[in-house]
Structure 1
Amino acid sequence: MFKLGRLREDGHPLHSWSVGRYLGDLAAGDRFVMWVTGTGGGLVGRGRISGAPTKQPGSPVEYWQEDPGDRWYAPLVMDEWLKQPIPRQRFKEDARFQEKSPLATLFAANPHKVTAEQWAAFEEAFANVRDEGVGPSWHLQPGQSIKRKALHDRYGGSRQGGISKCAKSANVLLFTDPKTGHQHGYYDEWAEDGTFHYTGDGQKGPQSFDTLGNSSTRDHVSLGLSLRLFEGSRGTVRYVGEFAVNPDEPYSWAMAPETGGGPLRKVIRFHLVQVGSTTQPPSVPVGCAYRVADESVEPAPAQPALSDIELVVRNLTTHRKLQNDLAAAARIGGLDVFSPGVADPDFDLGWRLTEDDLTVCEVKSLTPANETRQLRAGIGQLLDYQDRLADRVNSVRAVLWVEREPTEARWLALCERVGITLAWPGREDDVLG
């Protein structure tokens, strides 16, 4: 038996759940409700599956009554915890649970399938709890715009600042503004690992987790709060989507100037991952002004060996120089070069031939040891970018720009078959023409 209540009391987030059935049916984006059995049990929360199940040891093992050994676990993100369970009796009296009810088979392995009508009953229960004081349900879809004043009137929170914890609802509102953020030392951007790095709260002096905004962002899962990211900071803002701190590396530290170009100080960089779909509608433009990649890479102090440090620095420096050199060549050729906006997938750079015909580019350094892995990753990323941008522009061309010619010629043919242009320095005309 897993001690879920104790886990939450100790302030730990829930990242996965043991599953024993329907393993092939579980996929990222699937929604679920969490149910606790026994006296005082009932409906306690809901969330989304964040990936395919994997077999692994019981974790954290100290919250199991007995070590369960290796089991299948589905990774997940909790969207909402209820302060009090909604009791089982409420659903037993509902006609939608009279036949084929999952409540009658709770002793069986998880998960339990429900009908569309039963799912609607669970949704209604959450809505009723909010009506009784938890707060209004979320109504915005990615890409929709709203006046910031109206947003706070509905959900609560401060009308100023970048991080706003809501008093009326279980949300933390995050605002990123590429136009004005840099003057306050806020350099929000997509990172090379696919996470969005969001600068913490505090314009002067070193940032810390003593502020409500930073602590609630870091602990949003255990607090039962949803992170809602918006583009813009004043007037009308645009909803990008729901995000969560990366459970493997929630944040890092960096140096940035104070407001108005003041002295450098220590800032928090939250590593955010998308929850579910954040697909933007056709009306949202792609890209923002090109951001030059910083080629002055310094080794991290905690790397295990000197050779590993040198390799990491070498690969990052090479990647960023490749990116900047290609951007410079594109600008010389008269092309409109851009970086991804906060609402876009995290490609490295892009350029426009016309307003509705654009190219997105993924850059990869290559070494003999990582060549195959890098090329595979680049192809997969570009196909994902094309698919996610297909509804927003007329034509999306994909370019995989690598450090040198691959050792195996098959990669050229493979890229050509899937509609990707593979090229390297010296072949600029192949991608910029």
Structure 2
Amino acid sequence: MGVRMLAGLQAGDRLRRREVHERFGGRQQGGIGPSTKAPVVLFFTDPAKGHQHGYYDGWDSEGYFHYVGEGQRGDQQLTQGNKAILNHQDDGRSLEGFVADGTTVTYLGEFALVEHYFTDAHETGDPDTLRQVVVFKLRPAADVPVELPSLPISPQSQPRVDRVPVEEQHTERSFVSPDREPYELERREASLVRRYRLYLHRRGHDVDRLRLVPPGESRPLYTDLWDETDKELIEAKGTVTRDSLRFAVGQLLDYRRFADANTLAVLLPSRPRPDLLRYLHELGISVIYPNGDDWSRADPATSG
């Protein structure tokens, strides 16, 4: 770690962002500002605002600070400000952090890049469009005397699987797009899940959901239902179109890599047409759908 380059500042000092740039250079817009006045790269974090929109800056369980890179449209690239952080040590620049509160910022001190990784987030101002963002894992040079949040999930080298209540409103999309309202199709899926869960409970099954965190990832995956009694993974879809069933297949195959499942099933509002049923059965996936007040099930072994 080099010598702190921001002369006259101590970690915890508050000042106007404009004053920071007048004294030390760097771009006045955006989150990352390599300076032409001094051998420094400035970065600005606003966790309180970012967490509302699915951008998670914060401490991990090992004391490193994770910082989402810049770029509001499309997959983020390791160019411009992101490249400046990536290469700050090779370029002989210190990396200096600030936390923003409106037009006022608080100096956090010097950091150094440990590594970077990619995760999913939505485009700025467009919670319906997902893209890939870069996250920088940073080591502080000294204790940071400013309270900053922790990450919801710290990336780990091993996958994690937890059982969570069905009542929890968390979904994969709500994690990356917390500012997006549920679609009507998602509400239909939630209704199907509630009805079928009650049916399984009446039959004495132990039912909840799984939260899966793949190794190296900071975004959780949530199954719609997990039937612990039968060790069955169940994914619900609010329509029986080909696209929705292909999406369900991809989700189930992804979940199965981490869950000790005996069987896979898709929960649907009605029986799929013959070719789609064959598609699911050829992949070993069962189909569950309502039949009046009861439920029907079409399993691969009994398909005709």
- Normalising by structure 2, we get a TM-score of 0.48
Bigger RCO of structures 1 and 2 (CA < 8 A, at least 6 apart): 2
More strand by share: 2
- Normalising by structure 1, we get a TM-score of 0.34
More helix by share: 1
